[in-house]
């Protein structure tokens, strides 16, 4: 998700094409083409400019509704209903060929889902299959201690800095907690899926959220050629 303003000027975007199943957007004001995954202008008068990232989530409706009790849902527009993609659009998309830069036999499959994090010039991909098994992964990316956690729905993923008041904390998932709770080993404080301390010594504290992109491996690798991959407790450089 990107801000639609660049250098103080608002832009209006529409879909211009698809490259390796990634949208190419065009702004109506200058005709510049923009890459969806990176927000970068790749052709036209604004080439080289980059849109500002808007922090966003890709979570299940149940989790969103729990956290946003007064949230509003965009209703489908019946006047253009015929233009919407069918519910099984992902099945058709999965049949299309994709390009994946291959440099190692240890890489995930092209359409494997990953949670990608880019921080301080470093990029790392966490396969969803590993997150489902481990639930919570402690790591340090670009010098920043953080953790990545899978929600109780086995779909929603978030990441947070794990440094608080100058010290790095160690976290683990609380067994049989519903909804999900994580606990820091240093104080025994319980934290919810939004990164807020709900019970214990640090109750009321809030962890800083880290932006991540839930993506297919083929797409992440194409735009992050120097990424490393977390697999089975190890970091691999494809």
Rounded average pLDDT over 167-181: 92
Distance, CA of 66 to CA of 153 (rounded, Å): 13
* pLDDT value of residue 101: 65
Domains of the chain: 5-43 (no CATH), 113-236 (2.102.10.10)
Q: SS in 3 state form for 146-174?
A: EEEEECCCCCCEEEEECEECCEECCEEEC
Closest CA to 50 of 120, 2, 15, 122: 2
Q: Kindly report the CA angle at 177 between 174 and 180, in degrees rounded to 5? A: 85
With bands split at pLDDT 50, 70 and 90, how would you rate the model's confidence at 180? Answer: very high
Look at residue 140 and tell me whether its pLDDT is greater than 90: yes
Distance, CA of 58 to CA of 69 (rounded, Å): 17
Rounded average pLDDT over 71-100: 78
With bands split at pLDDT 50, 70 and 90, how would you rate the model's confidence at 31? Answer: very high
* pLDDT value of residue 75: 86
Look at residue 238 and tell me whether its pLDDT is greater than 60: no
With bands split at pLDDT 50, 70 and 90, how would you rate the model's confidence at 106? Answer: low
Rounded average pLDDT over 6-30: 89
Rounded average pLDDT over 19-32: 89
pTM, 2 dp = 0.83
If one counts every other C-beta atom within 10 angstroms of the C-beta of residue 224, the result is: 20
């Amino acid at each position: 998700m990107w801000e639609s303003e660049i250098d103080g000027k608002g832009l209006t975007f529409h879909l211009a094409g698809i490259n390796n199943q990634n949208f190419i957007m065009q702004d109506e004001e200058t005709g510049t083409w923009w890459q969806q995954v990176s927000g970068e202008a790749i052709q036209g008068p604004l080439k080289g400019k980059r849109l500002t990232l808007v922090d966003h989530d890709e979570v299940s409706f149940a989790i969103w509704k729990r956290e946003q009790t007064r949230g509003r849902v965009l209703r489908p527009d019946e006047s253009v209903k015929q233009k919407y993609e069918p519910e099984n659009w992902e099945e058709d998309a999965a049949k299309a060929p994709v390009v994946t830069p291959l440099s190692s036999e240890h890489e995930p499959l092209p359409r494997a889902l990953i949670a990608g994090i880019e921080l301080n010039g470093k990029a790392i991909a966490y396969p969803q299959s590993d997150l489902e098994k481990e639930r919570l992964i402690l790591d340090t990316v670009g010098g920043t201690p953080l953790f990545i956690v899978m929600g109780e729905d086995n779909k929603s993923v978030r990441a947070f800095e794990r440094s608080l008041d100058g010290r790095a904390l160690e976290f683990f998932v609380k067994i049989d907690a519903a909804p999900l709770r994580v606990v820091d080993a240093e104080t025994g404080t319980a934290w919810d899926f939004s990164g807020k301390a709900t019970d214990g010594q640090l109750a009321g504290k809030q962890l800083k959220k880290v932006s991540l992109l839930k993506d297919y491996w083929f797409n992440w690798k194409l735009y992050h050629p120097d990424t490393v991959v977390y697999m089975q407790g190890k970091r691999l450089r494809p």
